Amino acid sequence: MDLHSKLLADFLDRSLYQQAEEYGINYLEQAASRHVFPQEDAIENLTKFEEELPEEIGNAKDIIHLLNNYGAPATSTIVGGRYFGFVNGGVIPAALAAKNLSIFWDQNSAMQVISPIASKLESVVQKWLIDLFGLPTETVAGFVSGTMMANFCALAAARYRILHNQGWDVTEKGLFGAPQIRVVTCREAHSTILKSISLMGLGKGNIEWVDVDEQGRIIPENIPELDNRSILILQAGNVNSGAFDNYSQICKKAKSQGAWIHIDGAFGLWAAGTRRLNHLTKDFDQADSWAVDGHKTLNTPYDSGIILCRDQSALTSALHMKGDYIIIGKERDGMYYTPEMSRRARVIELWAALKYLGRQGVDQLVSGMHDRALQFAQEITKIDGFVVPNDVVFNQVMVKCSTDQITNKVLQHVQNQRVCWVGGSQWKNSSVIRVSICSWMTTEKDVNLTVESFRSALLDII
């Protein structure tokens, strides 16, 4: 059979897609009970994928079987309730189903003429996010792969505006000979901020560092005098402590000095969408740009990041795209708000998550994660030998023992038990275990089991 005939046969074979869906549903059904991290034999079996590129056309069902039999057992159960590593969120069922449906559509969201549905949903979600977060009405959104890329877009917009205001068109002239730009941020800035600064050509060595307080918040009094050449980068949710910078104390002064203010809010920005926690983001709307993930706190499927910028001209000029073949739509053309042109319509599952949750659901989802974080902190500190060094203001909890050696051994034992998965970090020159609660599936019982895992690990090494 020639390639076209075989592809057509597979294309119309309902059982191929049904089998894949059945495997996926079986995986979800087991998510609450399976090991959070794969067993050693499952990892070793990944050698099944090590082969030379096949010479002949393959069998589609065999490929799906291979993935299910040897790929699924080697996955981390991020969709479950006890994965607490790297601020990886769970997944809202409606959003997962929407993503699965959109896979069959295979939409490119570059232009309205390519995908009217993607264009419409990007416009709708932009409006919803502005309303939910309480941002300025002129704010625009770009739908990217994650906060790393959202931070990059924000700094690109900031760089464009600062240089443009000084008579320098960076899109035409580049950075050679350009006026200098100042970048000011705290010593607890996330690594994606540093990577974005590097990629933008601004140079990590040029950063003007500002010290942080005991919770990892930038110290307002230590921020240097700013000017219209400055980019001030703040945080909504320290990656270790979960702490939020004091926007009320910082933003008004920084704006009066002419600085561009960017807020890295990968997981914390969603606090603005709650009644109980929105005090953490008070006056953050005075900033110029914000970065946030859908696949963290909102629990959309991967990969879903958002750049929000109140200066539409700066964002679209920085992420500029031209071509004689481009057809400008009557409504939104998504490529003007992101670095990519060809880009899957990830907004579909983001829209589905927000449509399903609504304002009340977002409030309950985010507040629920905070409740479980408080529960974990309260329960773990009842056990002699564990200390929580941070104020639990959001969803992040750090745990440490009497020495770094004990802390690291407990971490290793907890990971080996596979009841939950947590990661390690450094905090104030000490080793800590970092617990990030960011899944709707995490229950009180999940927290109980996790705390018991910590207790057992400590007993194992004493």
| Cis geometry, peptide bond prior to residue 131 (ω within 30 degrees of 0) | no
Q: Within this chain, do residues 52 and 153 fall inside the same structural domain, yes or no?
A: no
In sequence order, the β-bridge partners of residue 305 are 144, 293
Three-state SS at 403: coil
CATH number, domain of 326, equals 3.40.640.10
Residue 363 lies in a domain: no
Instruction: Yes or no: say if 89 and 425 are a contact pair by the CB < 8 Å rule.
Output: no
pLDDT at 234 over 80: yes
Looking at the fold, whether 321 and 415 belong to one and the same domain comes out as no
Cα distances from 440 to residues 170, 340, 460, in angstroms, run 44, 31, 31
Residue 345's pLDDT is 97
Question: Which residue in 14, 62, 68, 72 sits closest to 39, CA to CA?
Answer: 72
Distances (CA, A) of 234 to 246, 254, 264, 332: 9, 11, 6, 30
> Is residue 102 predicted with pLDDT exceeding 90?
yes
Q: Which of 344, 248, 353 is nearest to 293 (CA)?
A: 353
> Would 267 be classed as within a structural domain?
yes
In sequence order, the β-bridge partners of residue 411 are none
- 42-59: pLDDT as tens digits: 999 999 999 999 999 999
Residue 225, amino acid? E
Query: What does the block give as tokens for 8?
Result: 């057509």
First to last CA, the chain: 66
CB 184 within 8 A of CB 232: yes
* Rounded CA separation 53/63 (Å): 14
* Whether residues 328 and 453 fall in one domain: no
Judging by DSSP bridges, how do beta strands 423-427 and 305-309 pair with one another?
Answer: unpaired
| Confidence band, pLDDT 50/70/90 cuts, at residue 300 | very high
| DSSP structure class, residue 145 | S
Q: Does one domain contain both 372 and 349?
A: no
| pLDDT at residue 90 is higher than 80 | yes
Task: Please tell me whether residues 311 and 419 are part of one structural domain.
Answer: no
User: Does 202 share its domain with 253?
Assistant: yes
Whether residue 180 sits in one domain with residue 328: yes
- Look at residues 108, 147, 83 and name the one whose alpha carbon lies nearest to residue 302: 147
Separation CA 196–CA 202 (nearest Å): 9
Q: Residue 29: its pLDDT value, please?
A: 94
Of the residues 55, 72, 89, which one is the last residue of a structural domain?
72
% of the chain at pLDDT higher than 70: 100
188 and 59, same structural domain? Answer: no
| Residue 39 confidence (pLDDT) | 95
Q: What is the pLDDT of residues 137-195, one digit of tens each?
A: 999 999 999 999 999 999 999 999 999 999 999 999 999 999 999 999 999 999 999 99
How many domains does the chain divide into?
A: 3
176 shares its domain with 270: yes
115 near 107, Cβ under 8 Å? yes
Residues 163-175: tens digit of each pLDDT: 999 999 999 999 9
Range of the domain at 213: 99-353
Comparing C-alpha atoms, which of 148, 101, 86, 89 is closest to residue 362?
89
Nearest to 207 by CA among 240, 232, 238: 232
Task: Report the predicted TM-score, pTM, of the whole model to 2 decimal places.
Answer: 0.96
Which residues touch 180 (CB under 8 Å, ≥6 apart)? Answer: 229
pLDDT for res 360: 97
Check residue 128 and give its pLDDT.
98
Q: Residue 405 has which token pair? A: 């050696």
In a domain, 131, yes or no: yes
Say what the pLDDT of residue 180 is: 96
Residue 398 belongs to domain with CATH number: 3.90.1150.10
Q: CA 138, CA 131: separation in Å to the nearest integer?
A: 11
User: Does 308 share its domain with 440?
Assistant: no
Residues 152 and 257 in one domain: yes
- Tell me which residue of 388, 372, 410, 446 sits closest to 241, measured CA to CA: 388
Q: In the prediction, which pLDDT does 256 show?
A: 97
Q: Are 212 and 186 in contact (CB under 8 A)?
A: yes
Mean pLDDT of the chain: 96
Provide the pLDDT for residue 327.
81
In a domain, 195, yes or no: yes
Q: Once rounded to an integer, what is the mean pLDDT over residues 130-143?
A: 98
372: exposed, middle or buried (C-beta count within 10 Å: 0-12, 13-18, 19+)?
Answer: buried
pLDDT above 90 coverage of the chain, percent? 96
pLDDT band with cut points at 50, 70 and 90 for residue 323: confident
Residue 462 pLDDT greater than 90, yes or no: no
- What pLDDT score was predicted for residue 328? 84
Report pLDDT for 316: 96
* Mean pLDDT within 346-358: 97
Report the pLDDT value the prediction gives residue 167, as an integer from 0 to 100: 97
Same domain, 67 and 169: no
| Res. 322: pLDDT tops 90 | no
The answer to whether the beta carbons of residues 21 and 28 sit under 8 Å apart is no
**Confidence band (pLDDT; 50, 70, 90) for 326?**
confident
Res. 289: pLDDT tops 90: yes
Q: Is residue 78 part of a domain?
A: no
The DSSP output letter for 70 is I
What would the two tokens of residue 90 be? 């769970």
Average pLDDT of the segment spanning 263-286: 98
The confidence band for 320, taking pLDDT boundaries of 50, 70 and 90, is confident
One-character DSSP codes across 352-365:
HHHHHHHHHHHHHH
CA distance 13 to 163: 56
User: Does 426 have pLDDT greater than 80?
Assistant: yes
Q: Are 144 and 306 in contact (CB under 8 A)?
A: yes
Residue 79 lies in a domain: no
Task: Say if 90 falls within a structural domain.
Answer: no
Inside any domain, residue 81: no
Starting from the edge strand earliest in sequence, which strands make up the sheet with 182-186, in order?
140-144, 305-309, 289-293, 260-264, 230-235, 182-186, 208-210
At residue 1, the pLDDT reads: 76
On the CB side of 261, CA atoms within 13 Å amount to 26
